[in-house]
Amino acid sequence: MKSSHGRGRLLLGLLLIGLLGACTQATIEVEGERPPASFALEPASTGLLAEIAEGITAGHGEEASGFRILDSSHSGLYWRLALIDSATTSLEIQTYLWYPDASGRLLLERVVAAARRGVRVRLILDDLLLQGQDQLIANLQAQDNIEFRIFNPWSQRDSLLDRAGEMIAELERLNTRMHDKLLIADGRAAVIGGRNVGDHYFGLNEIYNFHDTDLLGIGHIGVQANAMFDKFWNSDWVVSAGNLSTAPDPEVAYEQWQDLVARNVTSPVLEAFPRRVKDWSGELRREAKDLRIGRSKLVYDETATEQISQNVLSQIFNFFSLAQRELLIMNAYVIPSEKVITFMQELTDRGVKTRLLTNSLASHDVPAVNSHYEPWRDDFLEAGIDLYELRSDPAIAATVVDVAPVQAEFTGLHSKTAVVDRRYVFIGSMNFDPRSARINTEMGAFVDSPALAEDMAAIIERDMAPENAWRVQLDAEGELYWQNSEETVTRQPARNGMQRVMNLLMKLGPEDQY
């Protein structure tokens, strides 16, 4: 066209292309018609999960649940598969990120298999990673027994450039993301914690993997989790996938399914996991004997019509205030404030021993957080806090973080958990940074269970050991130094020079956005 037509014809051609693109541009009706309110089914009365939950109720009361900490990456994926495969009536999944990688594909296949055997599936995903996935989402929405909803979506679906423009125009709305992670099976069992759906969280990425923590609960916590899920499901912040302009395509859906199954069967990194739906009766019944009995309270930021009602941070600090002797904290992303430091000093003054484990620069995947955490190290130490930072090469990488055959280049921390006085436990999605406190939605579970608390405390203390973490201290001149089992250094540990450069550059960014 360029060689045979004049400028006017070229402009006309470009205009027509633009108009055709506009006519076919993928969108979602953010303010479109909403489905009528719908709610969780009653907890299943039959099936393996009902059997275990009813046994806990019979032995310990209506409000009791049995708990297990999912410490290893392998356990995080393994027990999610167990709950999905064991569901008989309902499955709810709410998550921030769902990557289209090996673990993401495996979990998706199992979710679709559950729907095909008659389980009602409800999915809520944040829109952050869904760009380019509308055809898949529309096909899932068209599948019998699956309903798909999107938290706070971009209305323009086609390109990152469109998204960027919409982000600028609607920054206040689109800056709010759903950071919660929740899986519920049969209204009887739930997994709550820090893990998104993706290989980094399940020990299967060859570049880096996260050390993360989830809580598996069977019993009353299933009812509590369904109540939370329903609040989001019926919220104005959530939009049905039925509002997508992209129509389901049965032929494409068939091809997507065949590709999904084939890739799961042949994926070399999935060899440690069952690749097909299986009967988990033996594993779950054995696991039930070792569950830690306790009572839980689920806390979450609520999706009010105009803005998010931020509840979680204040409740976490109320939880910390219960401490009389000891507070153990493991949190991946920490940017405190003067108010937080004062609070920690007050704990120290009344005799509470507080230990905190977070990321080092070397283990960080978000250098901007380290940039704004860095100036607070000496404040923590002067407030009497024992401060630890995860090594990028911890000993637990081989036994807890990576899943064979994978051996990642480095390890990062992603856990958000705490223990008070070896009795109370918190496990959730809440980071100790401004974004979690004031922008995103967060959630977590408080559990009163001395046995579970001892388990969690042992994990945190293991992770603070010098083969896994740097101890950060002040010398006699008030200068920082880092010590582990092999060496002592006077400069914050980093994997390479580029990390140090990025750490400096990110100091220029707004602290309140991280």
Beta carbons of 378 and 480 less than 8 angstroms apart: yes
Long-range contact set of residues 283-291: C-beta below 8 Å, sequence gap at least 24: 283/82, 284/48, 284/49, 284/52, 284/82, 284/86, 285/48, 285/52, 287/68, 288/52, 288/55, 288/56, 288/66, 288/218, 290/68, 291/56, 291/66, 291/67, 291/68, 291/218
pTM: 0.94
134, 203, 498 from 409: Cα distances, Å: 33, 12, 16
The predicted pLDDT at position 12 comes to: 31
How far is CA 512 from its chain centroid?
A: 20
Beta carbons of 234 and 38 less than 8 angstroms apart: yes
Coil, strand or helix at 186: coil
Whole-angstrom Cα distance, residue 244 to residue 29? Answer: 7
Beta carbons of 124 and 147 less than 8 angstroms apart: no
416-447 confidence digits (pLDDT tens): 999 999 999 999 999 999 999 999 999 999 99
The predicted pLDDT at position 15 comes to: 30
The predicted pLDDT at position 9 comes to: 35
Of 77, 72, 71, residue with least CA distance to 267: 77
Whole-angstrom Cα distance, residue 306 to residue 303? Answer: 8
Whole-angstrom Cα distance, residue 407 to residue 399? Answer: 11
The predicted pLDDT at position 24 comes to: 55
214-256 confidence digits (pLDDT tens): 999 999 999 999 999 999 999 999 999 999 999 999 999 999 9
136-194 confidence digits (pLDDT tens): 999 999 999 999 999 999 999 988 898 999 999 999 999 999 999 999 999 999 999 99
Residues of the chain with pLDDT under 50: 1-23
Domains along the chain with CATH numbers? 37-288 (3.30.870.10), 310-513 (3.30.870.10)
The predicted pLDDT at position 73 comes to: 98
Q: Percent of the chain at pLDDT above 90?
A: 91
The predicted pLDDT at position 32 comes to: 86
Of 312, 285, 310, 288, residue with least CA distance to 299: 312
Whole-angstrom Cα distance, residue 443 to residue 177? Answer: 13
